[in-house]
């Protein structure tokens, strides 16, 4: 099966030892982890909410959503604030282990990716590609926001 061509800009990041990316045009902010207010009776992956310019933004831990063990927060941990539909009220904060770089994905060949949905709340990825001898899985922002709904 032939892969599709990826023609956009991606923001790459690390969760565990794996590399992922998402559409950089859906990213509104990249934040250091500061105070996150816990929300009672929420799933383990829901870390809480933050105040971002007067807006309440829910924050999820992508590590936990993908079935990786929770390793806590360190100096590289970041929150990527994304919006699937460019609406500020639909922002979602996604905690990752480390933001890596912006990748110009012009002409990169993306292969389909199969996900074990028993281990992960993310049901599928847009695909996987090879960049600088590293496999990178593309997270669909729309899929991510659906998986984060409580």
In tens, the pLDDT along 8-55 reads 899 999 999 999 999 999 999 999 998 999 999 999 999 999 999 899
Query: Count of CB atoms within 10 A of residue 11's CB?
Result: 22
Higher model confidence: residue 82 or residue 7?
Answer: 82
Assign 124 a pLDDT band (cuts: 50, 70, 90): confident
**Which residues have CB under 8 Å from 122's CB, separation 6+?**
65, 66, 115, 139, 143, 144, 147
Domain range for residue 127? 4-148
The domain that holds 28 is classified in CATH as 2.40.50.180
Higher model confidence: residue 83 or residue 105?
Answer: 83
Please tell me the pTM assigned to this model. 0.88
In tens, the pLDDT along 72-92 reads 899 999 999 999 876 666 899
Q: Which residues pair with 98 in a beta bridge?
A: 14
The angle at the Cα of 47, spanning 85 to 79, to the nearest 5 degrees, equals 55
Distance, in Å, from the CA atom of 77 to the CA atom of 45, rounded to the nearest integer, reads 15
Tally of structural domains, the chain: 1
Average pLDDT, the chain: 87
């Amino acid at each position: 099966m032939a892969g599709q061509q990826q023609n956009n800009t991606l923001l790459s990041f690390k969760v565990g030892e794996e590399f992922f990316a998402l559409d950089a045009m859906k990213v509104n902010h990249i934040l250091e982890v500061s105070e996150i207010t816990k929300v009672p009776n929420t799933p383990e992956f829901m870390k809480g909410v933050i105040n971002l310019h007067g807006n309440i933004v829910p924050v999820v831990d992508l590590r936990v959503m993908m079935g990786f063990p929770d390793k806590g927060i360190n100096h590289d941990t970041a929150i990527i604030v994304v919006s699937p539909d460019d609406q500020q009220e639909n922002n979602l904060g996604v905690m990752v282990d480390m933001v890596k770089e912006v990748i110009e994905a012009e002409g990169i060949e993306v292969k389909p990716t199969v996900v074990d949905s028993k281990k992960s709340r993310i049901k599928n990825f847009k695909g996987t590609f090879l960049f600088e001898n590293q496999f990178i899985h593309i997270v669909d922002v729309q899929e991510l926001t659906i998986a984060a709904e409580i």
